[in-house]
A and B are shown apart, each in its own frame.
Chain A
Amino acid sequence: MLRFRLLPGLIGPVLAALVLVSWPASPANGSIVQGLELQELVAHADRIVLGRVLFSESFRRPDGQLGTWHRVEVEREIRGHAPDEHEVIVETLGGQIGDIAMRVEGEPSFTVGERVVVFVRDGGPYTAFRPVGMGQGVMRVRMEQGVETVTQNREGLMLMRRNADGRLERSLGALPEKARLDTFLSRVRDIVEANAGGIDE
């Protein structure tokens, strides 16, 4: 019979086992999107900022679809600079007006007040920016035991990429695991400096 005094010793291994079992079973997917490595995410981003989401509002797009603008107060700029502007407007596809909503799996959502690192591309004729690679371009910042960490958004995303033969295979994306915010930002800054000028289309 299992003696009671042994139970505390079991807790650690059991918890570790549960974490190991549940960890690989967690990726989310939805829209089928090409997975981007960090180098590519940086290369395709016109602006990269650390900021806080101020508010979100939905609107009707010219094609009849709904979109949502998210105002992000810039805390730190890693790539791109807009003089006299302390906010970045990030546009996502999908939104809600009244009791009608349009949802696109893979588009990121934001919570007012949360801190994020966003990799965004120029939105063309609009002044709003778009996340690069749908939700891949959004990293959420959390404070965990006094340490700021960053986690890539995987909401509704199914990441795949081509191998050398051109075949599609599963992609881990730019940030497969949670990282320290300061370490991550310095990695991004290194890539930006190493590839100044971005990517030519």
Chain B
Amino acid sequence: MSDRSLHAAALGLMFVAAFTADRASAYCRMSTDGSPQVGDADCIEDGALLIWNHPCLSYAVDFRGSRWFENADGTRDVATVMDLVEQSFASWENVDCENRVVGSGTPPNLIFKPSLEPSVCQRAEFNTTGNVNTIAFLDPWKDPCSDDRAYDPFAFAVTVVWHNTTTGEILDADMMINDQLASRFNAGGPYGDCPDAGCPAGSQGVPGPADLRSIVTHEAGHFIGIGHSPDQGATMFNSAERTSVDKRTLATDDINAVCDVYPPGNLDQTCDATPMGGLLLNCELTEDSEPIACDDPASPPSNGGCSAYSMTQSPTDTWALLLGALIGLTVLRRRPRRRDARS
């Protein structure tokens, strides 16, 4: 074999090895350390990885449903929304971990038990006295407890994950979906249950619907602690167009994620899915139908002053960071840069 052929063969092998290694473990997990992403770094998994320690989980769709799903009489069709949400969550359960394919067989140790009763909760909060993992459609796209727009107007959906900062245990998760009509100033609907061939196009001035199941399936990945994936075919990647319904179906990378994070175990349908602190479907009204008050808003620190609130960066942390940076710089000087094996 000539030198040129050997060159080519070696290069080809390097290509295959790099590409295969990347695809084998492409997914990322959410972690306790929200350190900033720098450049094109992929997974940031510093700190403890987020996980439900008791992955028998309940959730409830807010009783107001979505404005984009109505009955013939003009009332909100909450049942259809609940059904679509249930199908979306179920796609993370219905995988065969042994063969790493969609379908029955050896499921991950993860069970969703949707509440048959809707929630009365558009607040993504966590309480010690009772909780509900609520799925709420917000129109207007704002937090009901404050005048400001906590959620970015350009977000279609956000999933709020409450967790323990030391262990990474997920304590509560809420999914908020932007139910406004999309415009040049904000993201939003319409949403629909699109046919397998894809969502229909819109008309002049009226955007076509986005596939609700695709959006909820993606967000459900965050609900269980899975972050993004550089795998372009994955539900947790961003390659699908609005017309596409690809994200409804998990790709191998998504299946690897859920099976690795929640490997097959002994949970069954009799498991207790009560949220931490007990199930509290109504976070807006007391048992006497009195509104549950919102907290008093805090004021941001004045410029140059200090705050009475806890700091995320303590002086000890700062010294640890400096020490870490010095060690890191020393290591960097001693060895060539390389990408993370997961990258």
Tell me whether A146 is interfacial, beta carbon within 8 Å: no
Tell me whether B49 is interfacial, beta carbon within 8 Å: no
B309 in contact with A167 (CB, 8 Å): no
- Count chain A CB atoms within 10 A of each CB in B26, B143, B236 and give the residue with the most: B143
Tell me whether B158 is interfacial, beta carbon within 8 Å: yes
Contacts of B144 in A (CB 8 A): 63
A31 in contact with B155 (CB, 8 Å): yes
Complex: chain B residue closest to A6, CB-CB: B3
B242 in contact with A13 (CB, 8 Å): no
Given A28-B228, A31-B155, A14 and B208 contact (CB-CB distance below 8 Å): no
B187 in contact with A14 (CB, 8 Å): no
B152 in contact with A133 (CB, 8 Å): yes
Tell me whether A143 is interfacial, beta carbon within 8 Å: no
Tell me whether A81 is interfacial, beta carbon within 8 Å: no
Complex Cα gap A30–B240 (Å): 13
Complex: chain A residue closest to B207, CB-CB: A166
Given A56-B311, A96-B312, A168 and B241 contact (CB-CB distance below 8 Å): yes
Given A94-B34, A98-B310, A62 and B165 contact (CB-CB distance below 8 Å): no
CB distance from A132 to the nearest CB of B (A): 8
Given A63-B125, A170-B241, A105 and B222 contact (CB-CB distance below 8 Å): yes
Contacts of B300 in A (CB 8 A): 69, 89, 91, 126-128
Contacts of B28 in A (CB 8 A): 28
Tell me whether B268 is interfacial, beta carbon within 8 Å: no
Q: Does more than half of chain B's interface fall in helix, strand or loop, or is it mixed?
A: loop
B39 in contact with A162 (CB, 8 Å): no
Q: Interface residues of B, CB < 8 Å — how many?
A: 103
Tell me whether B230 is interfacial, beta carbon within 8 Å: yes
A100 in contact with B147 (CB, 8 Å): no
Tell me whether B151 is interfacial, beta carbon within 8 Å: yes
Given A27-B230, A61-B298, A169 and B146 contact (CB-CB distance below 8 Å): no
Contacts of A56 in B (CB 8 A): 311-313
Q: Which of B7-15, B80-88, B105-113 lies at the interface with chain A?
A: B7-15
Complex Cα gap A28–B184 (Å): 24
What is A's interface to B at a CB cutoff of 8 Å? 2-3, 6, 10, 13-14, 17-18, 21-23, 25-34, 36, 44, 55-65, 67-69, 71, 85-87, 89, 91, 93-112, 114, 123-128, 130-134, 136, 140, 142, 151, 153-156, 158-160, 162-163, 165-170, 178, 199, 201
8 closest Cβ contacts across the A-B interface? A168-B242, A166-B202, A166-B207, A64-B125, A63-B145, A124-B148, A155-B37, A109-B34
Residue pairs across A and B with Cβ atoms less than 8 A apart, 28 shown, are A3-B3, A14-B10, A26-B230, A32-B157, A32-B187, A57-B307, A58-B309, A58-B312, A59-B298, A65-B150, A69-B301, A69-B307, A91-B300, A93-B151, A93-B158, A98-B310, A100-B165, A100-B171, A101-B32, A102-B126, A103-B161, A105-B30, A106-B158, A111-B36, A160-B238, A165-B208, A166-B208, A201-B185
